[in-house]
């Protein structure tokens, strides 16, 4: 009897609409009216699928985390070599295209707001821990015996976060060159990581091969 629609499809439509508003106009601009308008409907439709504004925003953040996590797992699965896999995942994490740039701006907006909101800070903390654990497994076979895997992984994660923030805030004019520098930065970090284990045995190979 009821008029039938795809609930999941509607919800993701609103999620995507809220991503666009947040990334382009900031989290404050993501009002119920504004998000509904961006999705081409009115607030009546939006409140039909999300009880609260906060529920919408938390789900938007969660969905962004999930999408990014899925992409990174896919990037990791393609490669066999440990160092190449690490590099591929780190590159996948950076905002090197517009979709990922939007994602980073969404995260950035939520980070600022996470201070005052318990639900947001918990969701953020969850993502941070997952991302760090994943990085540790990737880094494990590459870390030299004398060093702490946790510290090495934390350093790489922090490097990605810092580069991501920088790219997310970069003006459009300098975005291309900043992206180039960011890729060179993580290439250097991964190369110097190997230099103390494998490359030291092979001696002098990566000096001209990968340096930028």
Stretch that binds a copy of itself, among 24-32, 41-49, 52-60, 77-85 (CB under 8 A): 24-32
Size of site (CB under 8 A) for a copy of itself? 55
DSSP the chain: -PPP--HHHHHHHHHHHHHHHHHHH-STT--HHHHHHHTTS-HHHHHHH-SSHHHHHHHHHHHHHHHHHHHHHHHHHT--SHHHHHHHHHHHHS--SHHHHHHHHHHHHHHHHHTT-HHHHHHHHHHHHHHHHHHHHHHGGGS-TTS-HHHHHHHHHHHHHHHHHHHHHS-GGGHHHHHHHHHHHHHHHHHHHHHTTHHHHH-SSHHHHT--
CB of 111 to a copy of itself, least distance (A): 5
Could you tell me which of 65, 66, 53 has the C-alpha nearest to residue 18? 53
Residue of 181, 198, 206, 210 that binds a copy of itself (CB under 8 A): 181
Token readout for 80 is: 């066999």
Residue of 70, 73, 140, 150 that binds a copy of itself (CB under 8 A): 150
By the rule CB under 8 A, 92 interacts with a copy of itself: no
Could you tell me which of 80, 76, 109 has the C-alpha nearest to residue 90? 76
Residue of 17, 182, 190, 199 that binds a copy of itself (CB under 8 A): 182
By the rule CB under 8 A, 135 interacts with a copy of itself: no
Q: Which does 91 bind (CB under 5 to 8 A by kind): DNA, a copy of itself, none?
A: none
Could you tell me which of 51, 21, 24 has the C-alpha nearest to residue 37? 21
Stretch that binds a copy of itself, among 3-11, 63-71, 85-93, 108-116 (CB under 8 A): 108-116
Residue of 154, 175, 197, 198 that binds a copy of itself (CB under 8 A): 154
Site for DNA in 70-129 (CB under 7 A): none
Using an 8 Å Cβ cutoff, are 83 and 194 in contact? yes
Q: Which does 124 bind (CB under 5 to 8 A by kind): DNA, a copy of itself, none?
A: a copy of itself
Q: Which does 33 bind (CB under 5 to 8 A by kind): a copy of itself, DNA, none?
A: DNA
By the rule CB under 8 A, 77 interacts with a copy of itself: no
Please report, as ranges, the residues that interact with a copy of itself according to CB under 8 A.
22-29, 105, 108-117, 121, 124-125, 128, 146-148, 150-152, 154-155, 157-163, 165-166, 168-169, 171, 181-182, 184-185, 188-189, 192, 195-196, 207, 211-212
């Amino acid at each position: 009897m009821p008029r039938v629609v795809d609930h999941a499809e509607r919800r993701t439509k609103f999620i995507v609409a809220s991503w666009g508003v947040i990334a382009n106009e900031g989290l404050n601009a993501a009002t119920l009216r504004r998000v509904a308008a961006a999705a081409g409907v009115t607030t009546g439709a939006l409140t039909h699928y999300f009880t609260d504004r906060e529920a919408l925003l938390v789900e938007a953040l969660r969905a962004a985390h999930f999408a990014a996590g899925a992409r990174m797992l896919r990037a990791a699965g393609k490669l066999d070599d440990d160092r190449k896999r690490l590099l591929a995942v780190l590159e996948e994490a950076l905002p090197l295209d517009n979709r990922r740039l939007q994602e980073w701006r969404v995260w950035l907006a939520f980070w600022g707001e996470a201070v005052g909101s318990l639900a947001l800070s918990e969701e953020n903390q969850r993502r941070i821990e997952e991302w760090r654990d994943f990085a540790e497994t990737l880094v494990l076979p590459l870390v030299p015996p004398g060093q702490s895997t946790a510290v090495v992984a934390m350093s790489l994660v922090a490097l990605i976060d810092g580069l991501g923030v920088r790219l997310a805030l970069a003006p459009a004019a300098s975005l291309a060159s900043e992206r180039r520098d960011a890729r060179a930065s993580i290439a250097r970090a991964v190369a110097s990581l190997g230099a103390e284990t494998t490359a030291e045995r092979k001696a002098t190979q990566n000096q001209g091969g990968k340096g930028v």
